[in-house]
Amino acid sequence: MTSNYYGDIFAQRPQLPRPERVLAIGAHFDDVEFGSGATLARWSRQGTRIKLVVMTDGSKGTWDPSQDGHALAQIRRTEQEAAARVIGEEVEVTALNWIDGELTHSQRTIAQIVSEIRGFKPEVVISHDPWKRYRLHPDHRHCGQITVDAVVAARDPHFYRELGPHHRPNSILLFEPDQVNYVQEIDATDINKKVEALLSHRSQHQTSMEDRSGESDLHAMTYSFASRIGEEFGLKLGEPFHLIDDV
């Protein structure tokens, strides 16, 4: 295990205790499911309350130049709500509706996530790794940076005082990490839920799922990845993150 992807410390950290509340923040509809869907499904069936926040409106998530953006945004919101019900019947969804591809790292976007953190009071916050090298999509980079900056602001009482009492999460999990330092143990049921949730995003079968619209193909790909990651860390199946627990 010499790949930088696995970080400098290869020993698996102890599993996080099941959190009571998790706030998962993605740049686009389906990002959270790709990065942490199995983990969220596992925690949801164990009783964790989960809220998904999507930063953008999904209006440009297609390769079809004739697609109407407003109509696509509505489709994608409906798909996200269906995917959330797969993860857990009571999973909440909030869409902030910034224009797809134009998300910026700003005081306004940070304040929106501060408000979500202070209002929902999660123990764990999940989002994109903003430090992943060579990440092309600016929405992914910006969403991750907004999230980690908002965690800092939300924990400190003198930041954004108008947004309510401060709240300090216990940890941050960054998906698609530049370096893995934590793998959440999952099982086949969790993978099945992740795949089912991803397949709910029907408009994306030709884009982010790369024509893998057949359940068997997506399932095989997802299971193979979870098996490989798990094996590296002494688990049967796993979902990789970079864990920040000094919040």
| Residue 50 falls inside a structural domain | yes
| Residue 1 falls inside a structural domain | no
Distance, in Å, from the CA atom of 92 to the CA atom of 75, rounded to the nearest integer, reads: 17
Whole-number pLDDT of residue 64: 77
Residue 136 is part of which domain span? 18-244
For residue range 62-119, list pLDDT tens digits in order: 777 888 888 988 999 999 999 999 999 999 999 999 999 999 999 999 999 999 999 9
For residue range 12-31, list pLDDT tens digits in order: 689 999 999 999 999 999 99
Distance, in Å, from the CA atom of 211 to the CA atom of 170, rounded to the nearest integer, reads: 38
Q: What is the CATH number of the domain that holds 26?
A: 3.40.50.10320
Whole-number pLDDT of residue 13: 80
User: Mean of the per-residue pLDDT values for the chain?
Assistant: 91
For residue range 107-145, list pLDDT tens digits in order: 999 999 999 999 999 999 999 999 999 988 999 999 999
For residue range 137-172, list pLDDT tens digits in order: 999 999 999 999 999 999 999 999 999 999 999 999
| Residue 10 falls inside a structural domain | no
| Prediction pTM value | 0.92
- Token readout for 152 is 């800092």
Distance, in Å, from the CA atom of 192 to the CA atom of 186, rounded to the nearest integer, reads: 11
**Phi, psi for residue 136 in degrees, rounded to 5:** -80, -45
| Residue 2 falls inside a structural domain | no
| Residue 184 falls inside a structural domain | yes
Residue 197 neighbours by CB under 8 Å, 6+ apart: 33, 37, 41, 83, 84, 86, 87
End-to-end alpha carbon distance in the chain: 28
- Of the candidates 60, 57, 103, which has an alpha carbon nearest to the alpha carbon of residue 80? 57
Whole-number pLDDT of residue 58: 87
| Residue 8 falls inside a structural domain | no
| Residue 156 falls inside a structural domain | yes
Quote the number of domains for the chain: 1
Whole-number pLDDT of residue 121: 98
Whole-number pLDDT of residue 170: 98
pLDDT at 197 over 60: yes
- Name the band, by pLDDT with cuts 50, 70 and 90, for residue 46: very high
| Residue 6 falls inside a structural domain | no
